[in-house]
Structure 1
């Protein structure tokens, strides 16, 4: 069974570039090396009334102060931002990027349940 989570357990140098590109060096067990890879989070995360939503798109269109932090003893990658809600206010929001993103052969693997309906 495919694992669609916990990419961070086999990753180094996890970062967010340009506010929406998740990048890291992911370990490949076949060649026993780490390889640079990236995924555009705008293609799988949106903003629904001030909350991050998997399976939506383009969260950056209504976000400010986007940042990544590695939290807790396991260095879980958490994306933080201020997202605009339906009243036009920016509110703090966060999402655990490892909930639905895995590592397959040093490439990011997105849980199919989190792909936007428009791309299916």
Structure 2
């Protein structure tokens, strides 16, 4: 995500949030903390992350986050439950696909 640094996730037990410092005013030294509730924009559909859904945390466990690869991709990983009861599988989603820094705030873009 352009113009962001120190990205991470936090959970309050019921919801998962992405936080970071976002550059604003086009000045390289001006950053402010921003946060977005991922459960407002990500769901769990048949054991897969779904953009535009909601409340993925309800069915997920082992939720983790990392910056990966040479392109520094922000990746959310979790075990999500499929359609057959307790068949959990590791899933991941690139958060930069639909979340960006807009004017110093982390925002979802469909």
TM-score w.r.t. the length of structure 2 is: 0.90
Q: For each residue in 1:71-97, what CA deviation from the matched residue of structure 2 results, as whole angstroms up to 9, or x when unmatched?
A: 111211000000011112111100000
Q: Which runs of 4+ in 1 moved over 6 A?
A: none
Give ranges in structure 1 of 5+ residues lacking alignment. 1-7, 114-120
Partner of 1:56: 53
Instruction: Give the equivalent residue in structure 1 for 2:92.
Output: 94
Cα offset for 1:40? 0.1
Matches within 5 A, 1:19-30: 20-30=16-26
Residue aligned with 1:42, SS: helix
**Residues in 2 aligned to 1:61 and 1:38: alpha-carbon distance in whole angstroms:** 20
Ranked by relative contact order (alpha carbons within 8 Å, sequence separation 6 or more), the top structure is 1
The equivalent of 2:7 in structure 1 is 14
Count matched residues.
105
Distance 1:23 1:56 in 2: 19
Aligned to 1:42: 39
**Contact 2:2/2:100, CA 8 A, preserved across alignment:** no
Q: In structure 1, how many angstroms separate the alpha carbons of the residues matched to 2:76 and 2:83?
A: 21
